[in-house]
Structure 1
């Protein structure tokens, strides 16, 4: 028999012997491994107040990692030896939002109890997943600080629709899980919020930075200032990245796109600056609807957000 290229045990994808793709460094958590960074998918979008298939985002973001290498030219370092553990996706309830939130909370708690990793990334889903996720981290670490990249306050009232993707921080604040002064919101945009929610944010002492503030001060300077403030009053810091904080030109796959947001470079540089602080232990990435995206632009940007967090 002559030479054959057929081998069902191997992928037909091109492989350069000198290049390691990020997805090649990710291992499925099986119960005893330890790693540097843990990943878990929180594929819930039934609570979105606008039609959204953000539940599909964890898989598309993971797929995006296969397009990029582990080598950082900026840092002159190859991260091919970083240990990344994937805890899989949480199965959501088919109809009950409250049951789904319970499942997400329990699953993040169970992941943290393994103590398998030093830092964790939660892949949403809509922004509603931040409520159970942050609550789980608060129960483990104590007083928690949150930096939120977002066009919206996400402090909507609960009377008009219950817990939705517009209420996670209202739920955390009213539930006394999070203190107002420990929440930083960066990227709040004009004509994206109500006066009542602006008033609520002020009453709760949330540190709010609009896009005009970003234009004047620079997002990296704001992050540095707020990290320095938070480190003296909290036990850990959690990053919550709502991709609709990014201008629609750079993130077309968000349910609530709009002009005047961050550039992709502003988002990546600010996340990297925050992630370099040792008190930053977790990050979620939310509000990507792959069905609305163009050539996975938004999911690939989210993959780079992950990389800035992991390869600090």
Structure 2
């Protein structure tokens, strides 16, 4: 189900990410707060290529420390385990999708108290992952916070099973209700009238970046989390890195002028981490047409991930203090 990642670090003492995040195939459930896993499936550019981001993500760990200077906390209090990459099929797209679905289901069943973070891969990974989570929890209602420039609600029968259609597939399959999807960060001229009409018909909440900045990003995110916590049993957050402005993610071809700043994304993910109802997170669509990802893209994604962990740690600290 999972294979050893290409980038592995030897166990050693220290506060670097490569020393703190443990790489284990089958950790004991009681020893894991957060599970990181990768999906190398990406048909964004070339069917013969695997996703670059999971390995680039791991290779950059030595550049980061576990201490968050802004919040004055050490993230080493969290047990974070990299369980490896989903074993995908080199050419069969459907088998690979099923593999990601089965992996997400297995993690939910085996590690019911752990948070999960999927590093992709293209945005179809979100649909695969959510199908697996729904298999593990068929009676639960799932909410989605989608940070994205695009709605991704193309008809999957017409657009295929790829970046443009994961939300359409999830809604049509009854895995998630449209009214439980909040799409944040929409901006510019990248969504057709047909997609907007479909999203409105399904009750998808479309919050533009202009609205978020006008009303206040933190206030907007807090209100969405409050509403979803009232309506659903668990929340899944999908971060399509094209939601960011071009300079922060130079490899992401779909990123456009006027997107979120990296600082805004960091603040949003810290807030999201502070809410224990958010059980799952993914980062998708970082692949480049070149052979190697730019370090700006990689480091932006890792810093976003660490801000999510910061929120989790802050929430843990607050709950301990209340006791």
Is the CA contact 1:62–1:303 (under 8 Å) kept in the aligned structure 2? Answer: no
Distance 1:232 1:54, change over 3 A: farther
User: Following TM superposition, by how much is the alpha carbon of 1:111 offset from its aligned partner in structure 2, in angstroms?
Assistant: 2.0
Q: Which has the larger radius of gyration?
A: 1
Q: Which runs of 5+ in 2 are unaligned?
A: 1-8, 312-323
Among candidates 91, 103, 109, match of residue 99 of structure 2: 103
More RCO (CA 8 Å, sep 6+): 1
Q: Deviations over 1:129-170 (max 9, x none)?
A: 000111222333411111000000001112334211111100
User: Following TM superposition, by how much is the alpha carbon of 1:191 offset from its aligned partner in structure 2, in angstroms?
Assistant: 1.2
Secondary structure, counterpart of 1:122 in structure 2:
strand
Secondary structure, counterpart of 1:40 in structure 2:
strand
Q: Distance in 1 between matches of 2:145 and 2:62?
A: 28
Secondary structure, counterpart of 1:39 in structure 2:
strand
Q: What is the match of residue 147 of structure 1?
A: 145
Map 1:1-312 to 2 at 5 A.
20-33=15-28, 34-46=31-43, 48=44, 50=45, 55-115=51-111, 118-141=114-137, 142-290=140-288, 292=290, 295-312=294-311
Distance 1:29 1:113, change over 3 A: farther
User: Following TM superposition, by how much is the alpha carbon of 1:290 offset from its aligned partner in structure 2, in angstroms?
Assistant: 4.5
Q: What is the match of residue 6 of structure 1?
A: none
Q: Deviations over 1:7-64 (max 9, x none)?
A: xxx99xxx9x9x6111211222332422111011011112x3x559671111111222
Q: What is the match of residue 3 of structure 1?
A: none
Distance 1:116 1:209, change over 3 A: closer
Is the CA contact 2:53–2:298 (under 8 Å) kept in the aligned structure 1? Answer: yes
Secondary structure, counterpart of 1:311 in structure 2:
helix
Higher mean C-alpha displacement, 174-183 vs 292-301 = 292-301
User: Following TM superposition, by how much is the alpha carbon of 1:98 offset from its aligned partner in structure 2, in angstroms?
Assistant: 1.4
User: Following TM superposition, by how much is the alpha carbon of 1:106 offset from its aligned partner in structure 2, in angstroms?
Assistant: 0.7
Equivalent residue pairs, number: 296
Q: Distance in 1 between matches of 2:81 and 2:217?
A: 30
